[in-house]
Amino acid sequence: MIRLIRRLALSATCLALTAGIAGAWTLEEAAKPYKGTQISVIFLDRPGYRAIMKMLPDFEKRTGIKVNYEIVPYESTLEKEVRDFSSNGDLTVALVDLVWIGTFADSDYIVSIDDLKKQFPNIFDPNYELSDFFPLLLNAFGTWNGTVYGPPFDNYSGLLFYNKKMLKDAGFDKPPDTWDDLLKVFAPKLTQNGKFAYALQSRRGETQSCDSFMRFIWPWGGSLLDAKFKSNLLSQQSQEGLNFRQQLIKYMPPGIVDFDHIEAVNALAQGQVAMITEWSAFYSTLADPKSSKIVDDLGVAPEPKGPAGRKPALGGFSLAVAKQANDNQKAASWLFIQWATSKDTAKEYVENGGVSGRQSTYKDPELVKKYPFIEPMVESWQQGVPEFRPRFAEWPQLSEIVAEVGTNMMIGSTSIKQGSEEIGKRVEDVLSKAGYYDGKKKLAQ
């Protein structure tokens, strides 16, 4: 009897102890063995990164981990990271753009979350909840071939930003719901006296291939590639979309093929155009009286629907632990990633200008009210296309081809049909060399 009681008491104590430990997971405790570890990451000069930089001192104080970051322009980031990872450089965290996940995963640059969990079970916050992220985002930015590498960190959706006053003056009390309305009803009335209805950032580069070209393919039911990875640009749907873009050009400011994000955002902010479709992250620029003249008239809506529904531009970055880091750095890097994307920091992150990828963050009514872009953005994330741009390693090459011929189409130096043929041929060349057509490579995008 006594023995039984003793045994019971012992197990009760054990239970209490385990419960105590589990309940008491804290960042400070988990980070103790890694105090003084230095980790390195690349940041961009964008609101989401400025937000986390502001919050970093808190993390460093609580953990004793030093986060070294370097700010790099987006266009050089991939180059810099690939160089670093292929020569055992010093980056311990990979900043993974949606379109780089295939390259980074296939080249073995990043560690999957499952592998990390096996190696360092103690650093994982039991309340982290990966399933809280929008499935579309986690799938598109952080997952490749069914393996999850990192949580979404800096998240974007394409949104329709518009000037309420200009629309009202032209007799519209709400923004267009479909692209067709935008072209046929809104555009003619809004284009007058040196003002234009719409601006589409189309500069050669990722801006042309992603923001301009792809935006007019998906909503029409088209796509860059078909199921066998052959070009699908000559399909009726893709052609309709591209022809639509061409028709829209006469309602855009002249010189639109030289508009990058900055120019498009400025055109709206200065009252030169009535509508733009831009990344959600530009909300803070447009809502800031220092950079915008239309703060009070700024409206935000989801991107218009095409014949195939609403398929807005999808973009964003995840953070993943780099394989080249040593064990301490790997653990410290995950602690940083986990902290930066945790539920606890999400609200502060949004208030500092970041865009969290967690569903729970946007259930806060106060936050939704304060930031008008949240509602349309959350709506966009319900129904996007993860492969809006193919995410395999060959995308940068395809992007260059699309950017070159795409700008040529817009300025009319090649016709839509000829241009599509040219892109198709060159794209298939690249994919054939990469081994997609002879079964050497899995058809994953």
Single residue of 151, 253, 302, 312 touching other proteins by CB under 8 A: 253
Mask of contacts with other proteins, 41-80, x by CB under 8 A?
-------------------------------------xx-
Single residue of 379, 400, 421, 422 touching other proteins by CB under 8 A: 400
Single residue of 6, 7, 35, 83 touching other proteins by CB under 8 A: 83
Residue written as token pair 């989401």: 48
- Collapsing DSSP states into helix, strand and coil, what is residue 369? helix
Question: How far apart are CB 246 and other proteins at their closest, in Å?
Answer: 15
Q: What is the DSSP-derived secondary structure letter of residue 200?
A: -
Single residue of 180, 181, 375, 404 touching other proteins by CB under 8 A: 404
- C-beta closer to other proteins: residue 154 or 394: 394
Single residue of 77, 107, 139, 246 touching other proteins by CB under 8 A: 107
- Report the 3 state secondary structure along 20-50: HHHHCCCHHHHHHHHCCCEEEEEECCCHHHH
- C-beta closer to other proteins: residue 225 or 403: 403
Helix (H) or strand (E) holding 48: helix 47-63
- Collapsing DSSP states into helix, strand and coil, what is residue 212? helix
Q: Measured between alpha carbons, how far is 352 from 51 in angstroms, rounded to an integer?
A: 5
Phi, psi of 5 (to 5 degrees): -60, -45
Q: Among the residues of 73-126, which ranges form H helices?
A: 74-86, 101-106, 113-119
Q: What distance, in Å, lies between the first and last C-alpha atoms of the chain?
A: 65
Q: Does 203 bind other proteins (CB under 8 A)?
A: yes
Question: How far apart are CB 419 and other proteins at their closest, in Å?
Answer: 10
- C-beta closer to other proteins: residue 17 or 262: 262
Instruction: Tell me, rounded to whole angstroms, the distance of Cα 87 from its chain centroid.
Output: 27
Single residue of 53, 82, 234, 444 touching other proteins by CB under 8 A: 82
Single residue of 256, 314, 320, 416 touching other proteins by CB under 8 A: 256
Q: Measured between alpha carbons, how far is 369 from 365 in angstroms, rounded to an integer?
A: 6
Size of the site for other proteins (CB under 8 A): 37
In 123-202, beta strands by DSSP E = 143-144, 147-148, 152-163, 196-199
- C-beta closer to other proteins: residue 199 or 346: 199
Please name which of 314, 313, 302, 315 lies closest in space to residue 182, comparing C-alpha atoms. 302
Stretch that binds other proteins, among 86-94, 122-130, 163-171, 357-365 (CB under 8 A): 86-94
Q: Which residues bind other proteins (CB under 8 A)?
A: 78-79, 82-83, 86-88, 103, 106-107, 109, 203-205, 208, 253-258, 267, 272, 393, 396-397, 399-400, 403-405, 407-408, 410-411, 413-414
